[in-house]
Amino acid sequence: MAPAPSAVRLAVREAIHALSSSEDGGRVLRTLGSLKRYLGAAGGPALPAEREEFAAVHFSVLLRRLAASLSLGWLAPELERLCDSFFLEGPAGQAFLVLVESIEGAAGFHLMKMAQLLSRFLSESRMVALMEEQCRQCVKPGFPPLQEALLSKVVALPDHLGNRLQRENLAEFFPQNYFPLLGEEIVQALQVVVDSLRGGSDCSVSFVSQLLGKVCVHGRQKELLSVLVPRLTVLTQGSCLWQRVCWRLLERVPDRAMEAVLVGLVEAAPGPEVLSRLLGNLVVKSKKAQFVMTRKLLLLQYRCTTAMLQSLLGYLAMDSQRRPFLVQVLKELLETWGSSSAIRHTPLPQQCYVSKSILICLAYLGEPELQDSRDELLASMMAGLKCRLDSSLPPVRRLGMIVAEVVSSRIHSEGPPLRFQYEEDDLSHEMLALAMPQPVRDSSLGTSPSLAPVVAETSAETVDSSVNRAQPEGPDSELDSDDEFVPYDMSGDTELKCSKAPAYVRDCVEALSTSEDMEHWEASLRALEGLIYRNPAATREVSVELAKVLLHLEERTCVVGFEVLRQRALVAVTVTDPAGVAEYLTSQFYALNYSLRQRMDILDVLTLAAQELSWPGRLGRAPQLSSSGLSTQSSPALAASQPGSAATPDWRVVVEERIRSKTRRFSKGSPRRLAGGPNRFSSVAGYFFFPLIQHFDRPLVTFDLLGDDQLVLGRLTHTLGALMYLAVNSTVAVPMGKALLEFVWALRFHGDAYVRQGLLSAVSSVLLSVPAEQLLGDLPDELLEARAWLADVAEKDPDEDCRMLAVKALLLLERLKDKLLPASCP
């Protein structure tokens, strides 16, 4: 048996009836006015039980009805105001839901009306009421589906309204305005919670937590937290209650949203102190937070900036309960850093990221903590150092040196620290600055000066010192007012060698192989290149013998530019007698008893000689490929196009170049070509190329290309690519291309990035040098395989340069296709 309808129910029913049927505005006004009393604050004319019943049972029905009638647009102003007040003063959650619901179904005038109502709802801080309602409700278990609906509607509000209103959308609903507003309201809601806790009544922040999580998952951390974090930073500073509410807020964030929230917080927090105050010991309490903070952000991703890393690791360092995590993190980081597979398969930026994290960890950790796990750390570091020094990529080696220096000095402080020679640059300075020990501040100390002033101070110091250094030069140049006395170039003013340079190539050979007179020896070495070019016939008689002497030449005294002189002489010999010397050099490349240095010299000489042969005169001004740069050894076309790599050019050339580039000529015609000449390389390319490519898979006792000597293998692949490129337009290019593609195929999964780079540039030079028809006619299968491999590398290779080279090679393939297509289908 149904209970008798209550007074409230009767009143509501009457109002609804009046709304739906009555044309009489007065009656509607009256009946609604009578309902209004159920909305009012406690102590009003209605009984609390009646109010509750109204809010729980009838309110949303009434609102829906009201919303529907608002659509008709006939309401008198006072009636409209009354209606609005139901939405703006009644239980906020239901009002919000009804508003959003009716917006979904509405159109035209009604839509605008409801949107404006919603905008008033927002501007009158009804959101705070909504959250407050939910916070209180959670004390007695609320109705989860309703809460879910509320959450998703609140978070998705900008999207909904954007979709509905399209171009008429109101500024309040733009995400960049809405979420900061939401942040403000969250703070106000939390204020209410704090007040009520102070008043002794229970409250739950779970709804706000979920809201925060959901917003962050939706990718709006930045807008929301940029408001929330500064406010909370101030509020939590003095008040323990606030701190606890804040901690609770973050603890109750659902696991699936935890990562988004934490990333946002780490990003928005100005330093570890603030982060520590906001998070408390969250990492200890929440498994998910622990995973995110100690593993995911550090080891699985590499998107945090250095400042974020400092906040994150500083946070871990700030409390004794969290410090074990920091030690653990350091161990894991070092393990990753030291793993050879990680070195090979992770991109360079990530390696850099891990290295930075290690240095920051070290800066926060104290001696005793490091001593406890010293052996473990040392072992990982040494393993990593070895792998890194073995790498053929200079940045990897350098990272290894920097980190190992710092780690060894911290862990193994009593012994002599490791010292490496590496070029200093911005990165190394930054990394060493990161490793400066940070004073560990306790979280209770409150705000302490952040790192920014320290950085500014040091930079100011360096500026000062540079100014000081510059000053002494000032007066000297100032005193000299005689502007007309401009010094001439005096770089040629070198020490005079008394010893007479030999005049014949044969004498040089003799002097270099037997002479004990160092000055004579040096003079011979200096004179050799010129002599060879002047007397090609005489050189040919002794070419192989000379090449042998030069290849085995050791620097017996300190001769400036010894390496360059020797290399130039070797190149000159090879150019003068290409077939004979190339045969000798290539046979020696795979011979026993040579050092890696000598083998790499052979490769360099072959490349340079091939370049000189195919393009005479280029080498005179071309940069010397010295031992320092690995990357300069790539394809000669690339090397020649690198700006800044050329030796200081004659200033006249520079000026002429500038004038030419700035002056436009009327009758330009075709640009003047360099004087053409026969490509002398094409007839001897085979001597250079095939002996080199034949034996790479036959390991010797002292030389294992496929094993440890991958650096030489990398150089070999680059050299082969360069030789292939230089053999353009020659008949031998086709068999060379075929052999090279097979070589590439055999090595395509090599673990070393430098080798892969060489292979990729070799593929490019095959595509450039072998005529398109021949490629398709003779090597279609190889091309298909290469294409599949290139696509794979372009997508998946961890090394950025490899990906780039693969994309370039793919573009070349595309161009090849375009070139052939018009011919086949007219």
Partner 1 sequence: MTTEQKSTASGTPGGDCTLPDMAATIPPPPPDPQFVLRGTQSAVHALHFGGGAQAEGRPLLFSGSQSGLVHIWSLQTRRAIAILDGHGGQCVTWLQTLPQGHQLLSQGRDLKLCLWDLAEGRNTVMDSVRLESVGFCKSAILAGGQPRWTLAVPGKDSDEVQILEMPSKTSVCTLKPEADAKPGMPMCLELWQANSSPRPLLLVGYEDGSVALWDVSERKVCSRIACHEEPVMGLDFDSQKARGVSGSAGKALAVWSLDGQQALQVCRTHELTNPGISDVTIRPDRKILATAGWDHRVRVFHWRTMKPLAVLAFHNATVHCVAFAADGLLATGSGDQRISVWSLYPHT
Position 484 contacts partner 1 (CB under 8 A) = yes
Position 143 contacts partner 1 (CB under 8 A) = no
| CB of 414 or CB of 480, closer to partner 1 | 480
CB 508 → partner 1: shortest distance, Å?
20
| CB of 256 or CB of 658, closer to partner 1 | 658
Give percent helix, percent strand, percent coil of the chain, each to the nearest 5.
70, 0, 30
| CB of 469 or CB of 664, closer to partner 1 | 664
Looking at 386, 419, 556, 658, which residue binds partner 1 (CB under 8 A)? 658
Cα–Cα distances in Å, from 574 out to 580, 722, 730?
A: 8, 16, 19
- Residue 434 burial (C-beta neighbours within 10 Å; 0-12, 13-18, 19+): buried
Looking at 4, 650, 707, 823, which residue binds partner 1 (CB under 8 A)? 650
Looking at 42, 415, 467, 666, which residue binds partner 1 (CB under 8 A)? 666
| CB of 485 or CB of 749, closer to partner 1 | 485
Site string for partner 1, 491-520 (x = CB under 8 A): -xxxxx------------------------
| CB of 425 or CB of 480, closer to partner 1 | 480
Q: How far apart are CA 526 and CA 238, in angstroms?
A: 78
| CB of 421 or CB of 667, closer to partner 1 | 667
CB 584 → partner 1: shortest distance, Å?
37
Contact positions with partner 1 (CB under 8 A) in 190-219: none
How big is the chain, counted in residues? 826
Position 663 contacts partner 1 (CB under 8 A) = yes
Q: How far apart are CA 738 and CA 720, in angstroms?
A: 12
CB 187 → partner 1: shortest distance, Å?
59
Looking at 108, 166, 488, 537, which residue binds partner 1 (CB under 8 A)? 488
φ/ψ (deg, to 5) at 728: -60, 145
Q: How many residues sit in the footprint of partner 1 (CB under 8 A)?
A: 27
Copy the structure tokens of residue 474: 């000032």
Cα–Cα distances in Å, from 783 out to 327, 718, 805?
A: 52, 20, 16
Position 487 contacts partner 1 (CB under 8 A) = yes
CB 483 → partner 1: shortest distance, Å?
11
Q: How far apart are CA 721 and CA 714, in angstroms?
A: 11
Q: Which stretch binds partner 1 (CB under 8 A): 324-332, 380-388, 601-609, 658-666?
A: 658-666
Q: Which stretch binds partner 1 (CB under 8 A): 141-149, 320-328, 391-399, 484-492?
A: 484-492
Position 479 contacts partner 1 (CB under 8 A) = yes
Copy the structure tokens of residue 663: 């002056």
| CB of 658 or CB of 817, closer to partner 1 | 658
Find, among 535, 755, 491, 726, the residue nearest to 618 by Cα: 726
Looking at 592, 651, 670, 673, which residue binds partner 1 (CB under 8 A)? 651
Copy the structure tokens of residue 317: 């360092």
CB 532 → partner 1: shortest distance, Å?
22
| CB of 137 or CB of 499, closer to partner 1 | 499
CB 475 → partner 1: shortest distance, Å?
12
| CB of 143 or CB of 651, closer to partner 1 | 651
Cα–Cα–Cα angle for 248, 253, 254, rounded to 5 degrees = 140
| CB of 42 or CB of 659, closer to partner 1 | 659
Residue that is written with structure tokens 């300075």 in the block = 429
Q: How far apart are CA 576 and CA 593, in angstroms?
A: 27
Contact positions with partner 1 (CB under 8 A) in 555-594: none
Find, among 60, 110, 116, the residue nearest to 86 by Cα: 60
Q: Which stretch binds partner 1 (CB under 8 A): 128-136, 488-496, 574-582, 598-606?
A: 488-496
Position 654 contacts partner 1 (CB under 8 A) = yes
Find, among 292, 270, 273, 267, the residue nearest to 282 by Cα: 292
Specify whether the CB–CB gap between 362 and 406 falls below 8 A: yes
Position 490 contacts partner 1 (CB under 8 A) = yes
Cα–Cα distances in Å, from 202 out to 131, 137, 207?
A: 15, 10, 14
Q: How far apart are CA 702 and CA 591, in angstroms?
A: 9
Count of alpha carbons within 13 angstroms of residue 403, beta-carbon side: 34
Which of 3-36 are b and which e, b meaning 16 or more Cβ less than 10 Å from the residue's Cβ? eeeeebeebbebbbebbeeeeeeebbbebbeebb
Position 167 contacts partner 1 (CB under 8 A) = no
Find, among 243, 317, 328, 241, the residue nearest to 280 by Cα: 243
Instruction: Give 685-752 as a 3 state SS string.
Output: HHHHHHHHHHCCCCCCCCCCCCCCCHHHHHHHHHHHHHHHHHCCCCCCHHHHHHHHHHHHHHHCCCCC
Position 655 contacts partner 1 (CB under 8 A) = yes
CB 495 → partner 1: shortest distance, Å?
6
Looking at 23, 414, 426, 482, which residue binds partner 1 (CB under 8 A)? 482
Copy the structure tokens of residue 354: 């891990």
Position 445 contacts partner 1 (CB under 8 A) = no
Position 483 contacts partner 1 (CB under 8 A) = no
Position 485 contacts partner 1 (CB under 8 A) = yes
Cα–Cα–Cα angle for 288, 292, 296, rounded to 5 degrees = 135
Position 486 contacts partner 1 (CB under 8 A) = yes
φ/ψ (deg, to 5) at 40: -60, 170
Element (H, E) at 268: helix 255-268
Position 667 contacts partner 1 (CB under 8 A) = no
Residue that is written with structure tokens 């508003």 in the block = 99
| CB of 202 or CB of 656, closer to partner 1 | 656
| CB of 473 or CB of 480, closer to partner 1 | 480
CB 656 → partner 1: shortest distance, Å?
10
| CB of 320 or CB of 491, closer to partner 1 | 491
| CB of 10 or CB of 653, closer to partner 1 | 653
Position 668 contacts partner 1 (CB under 8 A) = no
Position 823 contacts partner 1 (CB under 8 A) = no
Instruction: List residues binding partner 1 (CB under 8 A).
Output: 479-480, 482, 484-490, 492-496, 650-652, 654-655, 658-659, 661-664, 666
